[in-house]
Amino acid sequence: MVRARGARRGFATEAGVVIALDRIDLDITRGSFTAVMGPSGSGKSTLLHVLAGLEALDAGSVSVDDLELTGLRDTALTRVRRDRIGFVFQSFNLLPMLTAEQNILLPLELAGQRADPAWRDTVVQGLGLADRLRHLPSQLSGGQVQRVAIARALIGSPAVIFADEPTGNLDSRTTGEVLELLRRCVDEYGQTVVMVTHEREAAERADRILTLSDGRIARDESGPFAAAAAEATQP
C-alpha cells in the first residue's frame, strides 16, 4: 500500500543541514495499522508528511497504492492526496464556520463529487456523530471534533489514512475513544492507517510499531494487538 525507498529529507539551519530522514526503506501493507514513535527530532512527523505527499524528498522515492508520488507535478499530487489519502491533523483543521457535516463532506465538495449515501451513513453512525451533524466545531467536545476529523478523512474511501499525533491534545478517556475508532477503521472498514504518536500505550493499539532515531528506523516490531491476533488464529 505504501512504499519508501532510500527516502532522504534534510532541512537547512544556521548550524548546517539537519537530516530528518536518512535513506529509509519501508513497506506498509494494505489493511494494517502502523504506529510510528520516536523522540522529538527523530523524523517521525517528517516521515508521515513525505509518505502522504505533503513534503518532497531530497532523494529516494515514495509510492501510495502503486502510484509513484516522487516527481509528480503539484496538480497531480493534489489530486492523489484528495482521492487516495486521508490525513488527520493534530490540530484537527476543521473550518469553524461550517457544521460537522459540512466539514466531513468538504473534501468531496471540493472535488466536485457526491458522497455515497450508504457509506456516509456508515461513517457518521459508526463514529457516533449522527446527532452532532448540525453543530459547529465550537459546540463539540474535543473527542467529537476529532471524530469529525476522522470522518472527513474516511468519507472519500482513501487508500490510506495518516494520523499525526491524533491524541496529543486529548484527555485519557477521549484518547481511548479515538484509538478505538482508528482500530475499527482497520478491522471493520479495511482501511490502512499510519499513526505518529509519542505515547507507547497508544502505539500498542497498532499491528506494527516503528521507532525512529536520528532519521532512521531503529526498531521494527509487532504490536501486542498483532501478537494476540496471531495466537488466536493458531490451531
pLDDT in tens, 208-233: 999 999 999 999 999 776 555 555 54
Please give the pLDDT value at position 29: 94
Short-list 16, 36, 14, 32, CA closest to 24: 36
Confirm if 225 and 232 have CB atoms less than 8 A apart. Answer: no
Q: Is the pLDDT of residue 113 over 90?
A: no
- Between the two ends of the chain, the Cα-to-Cα distance in Å is 29
Confirm if 230 and 219 have CB atoms less than 8 A apart. Answer: no
In this prediction, residues 119-124 reach a mean pLDDT of 88
pLDDT tens-place string over residues 22-54: 999 999 999 999 999 999 889 999 999 999 999
Please give the pLDDT value at position 170: 74
Please give the pLDDT value at position 226: 59
Question: Who has greater pLDDT, 90 or 38?
Answer: 38
* 140-161 burial code (b ≥16 CB/10 A, e <16): beebbbbbbbbbbbbbbebbbb
Which helix (DSSP H) or strand (DSSP E) does residue 216 occupy?
strand 216-222
In this prediction, residues 73-98 reach a mean pLDDT of 86
Q: Is the pLDDT of residue 173 over 60?
A: yes
Complete domains list, the chain, with CATH: 2-233 (3.40.50.300)
pLDDT tens-place string over residues 46-55: 999 999 999 9
